[in-house]
Amino acid sequence: MPFDKITPDRIRVYPLRKRKSKSVIERIAVRPDAEPPDPAGHGHLIQETAEHIVSAREHGAAVILAFGAHLVKNGLAPVVIRLVEEGWITHAATNGAGGIHDWEFAWLGRSEEDVRKNVASGTFGTWEETGRFINLAVKVGGARGMGYGESLGALINNEALHLPQREELATIVHEGITQNAALAAAKLDLLHTIKTFDLQPGQWRIPHKFKNYSIFGNAFRTSVPVTVHPGIGYDIIYNNPYANGAALGRGAHVDYQVMVKSVSKLSDGVFLSVGSAIMAPQVFEKALSAANNVLAKEKKRVHNHFILVNDLQPKTWDWSRGEPPKDSPDYYLRFLKTFYRMGGTVRYLPADNRLFLHNLYSLLKKKAPRPKGERDT
C-alpha cells in the first residue's frame, strides 16, 4: 500500500511577474570587456589556468565548466557566453537551480526571491511560468531524445515550443514501444501532459526578451552542450502541477551521458569547478570513472588533466601532503577531497567567482581561440 502523499496538482501557483525578485539582470550583469577586479594575490593561479586552457584547446581537448547557481545570480552569464562563443569552453554543466535562474533572467529579466518570507507563506517557488515552461520544455525535448539542458536551451534560443497533435503522439507511442521504449515513454509523458492540461497543438511562441543574457540559449545557438544535474525535490519547479519526475530524470540521465562523453575527452584538458560544492565533484568522479571504463577497452584513460576549483571556503589544509585525517573538518570538504582524488593537477582558488572568471576571460580574450577540430566532435 503506497504511503499518503501530496501531489503537485494540489499546489496553487502564482504569476511570476507578481513576485518580488531580488536581482535584475541588466543591473547585475558583468560586462566582459570591462576592467576586471584586482586579482588580489590570485593572479598567478588565474594565469596558470589560462595557460592550461590555451594548451587544451591547441590539443583539441575538452574544457568543461561546472558551476553552481550563484554564478548566474552574480551576473556572470555574459562572461560565460563569451568563453563559449570564442571556443574556450566546450561544455558547461550546472545544477537545477542554475537552469532556473538562467531561464527566469532570459524570460523576465529578474530572478531570486525572499526564501524565508515565501516559505512561511507557502509561496516559495510556486511560480506558474517557471514551473510550467521549464517542465514542458524538458518534456517536449525529451520526446525528441534531447536532454534537460539542450531542451531548456532550445526553448530560450528559439523562443518557442512545438506541441505535436495528440493522435500523432499516440500513434508514435504505440509503434515505438517495441523499438525504443525510452523514447516511447518520453512521448507518453508529453501526451499525458497535453491531455491533462488540454494544451493546444502547434507552435507556441514564448518570447524571451532577455535571452542574450542566457548561458543555455547562447550555448544552444553555438552547439555547445550545457547539461543539468539536478536532484528530485531540490528545485522549485517540483512545486508545480507540470512537474514530472520521470521526465526530469530522463532528461538528466541523458545529460549525464553527455557529460561522460565530454570527460572522456579531458586528457590534456581542463575542468573548472566554480561555486559547486556538491554537484560538480559528485558528478565528475562518476563521469570520470565511467569514461575511464570505456577508454580501458582501447587501453587508454583520462590523463594529464588540470582541475581548478574556485569557491569561498578558506583553505586550511595542505592537500599536497595527502588527505587530512578524519577528525579534521577539512576531510569533509567534498569539493576539495573529491577533486584531489581525481588524478591530474589540482589547484584551489578561494575567491569570489566574479574575480576569477572575469580575470580569466580578460587573459584569454587576448589570445586567439582554437577553432573546433576533430577531437571536439
Shared domain for 36 and 48, answered yes or no, is yes
Confidence of residue 334 (pLDDT cuts 50, 70, 90): confident
**Is residue 346 situated within a structural domain?**
yes
Shared domain for 86 and 112, answered yes or no, is no
> Mind listing the pLDDT tens digit for each residue in 258-285?
999 999 999 999 999 999 999 999 999 9
User: Which is nearest to 81 in space by CA: 102, 112, 104?
Assistant: 102
Percent of the chain with pLDDT over 90: 83
Shared domain for 8 and 45, answered yes or no, is no
Domain that holds residue 299: 31-90+265-377
Q: Tell me, what amino acid is at 176?
A: G
> Mind listing the pLDDT tens digit for each residue in 161-213?
999 988 878 777 666 555 677 788 899 999 999 999 999 999 999 999 999 99
Shared domain for 71 and 103, answered yes or no, is no
Q: What is the CATH number of the domain that holds 49?
A: 3.40.50
Domain boundary among 208, 243, 278: 243
> Mind listing the pLDDT tens digit for each residue in 234-256?
999 999 999 999 999 999 999 99
Number of domains in the chain: 2
**How big, in percent rounded to 5, are the helix, strand and coil portions of the chain?**
50, 10, 35
Grid coordinates given for 207: 518570447
CA separation (Å) from 111 to 79, 106, 123, 127, 158?
18, 10, 15, 11, 21
Confidence of residue 322 (pLDDT cuts 50, 70, 90): confident
Shared domain for 128 and 154, answered yes or no, is yes
How much is the pLDDT for 369? 57
Shared domain for 35 and 155, answered yes or no, is no
Shared domain for 116 and 234, answered yes or no, is yes
**Is residue 254 situated within a structural domain?**
no
Shared domain for 110 and 75, answered yes or no, is no
Q: Is the pLDDT of residue 375 over 70?
A: no
**Is residue 259 situated within a structural domain?**
no
Q: Is the pLDDT of residue 27 over 60?
A: yes
* C-beta neighbour count of 344 within 10 angstroms: 19
**Is residue 44 situated within a structural domain?**
yes
**Is residue 256 situated within a structural domain?**
no
How much is the pLDDT for 373? 42
SS3 assignment, position 94: strand
Grid coordinates given for 270: 581542463
Shared domain for 107 and 236, answered yes or no, is yes
Q: Is the pLDDT of residue 288 over 50?
A: yes
Grid coordinates given for 126: 510556486
Q: Which residues pair with 63 in a beta bridge?
A: 270
Shared domain for 126 and 233, answered yes or no, is yes
**Is residue 251 situated within a structural domain?**
no
Describe the crossing of helices 128-142 and 181-196 by its angle, rounded to 10 degrees: 140
**Is residue 278 situated within a structural domain?**
yes
SS3 assignment, position 307: strand
Q: pLDDT higher for 47 or 2?
A: 47
Average pLDDT in the chain: 93
Shared domain for 5 and 62, answered yes or no, is no
Grid coordinates given for 268: 590534456
How much is the pLDDT for 317? 83
Percent of the chain with pLDDT over 70: 95
Contacts of 316 (CB under 8 A, 6+ apart): 330
**Is residue 255 situated within a structural domain?**
no
Q: Is the pLDDT of residue 374 over 50?
A: no
> Mind listing the pLDDT tens digit for each residue in 297-319?
999 999 999 999 999 988 788 88
Q: Is the pLDDT of residue 354 over 50?
A: yes
Confidence of residue 1 (pLDDT cuts 50, 70, 90): confident
Shared domain for 220 and 110, answered yes or no, is yes
> CA 58: distance to chain centroid?
25
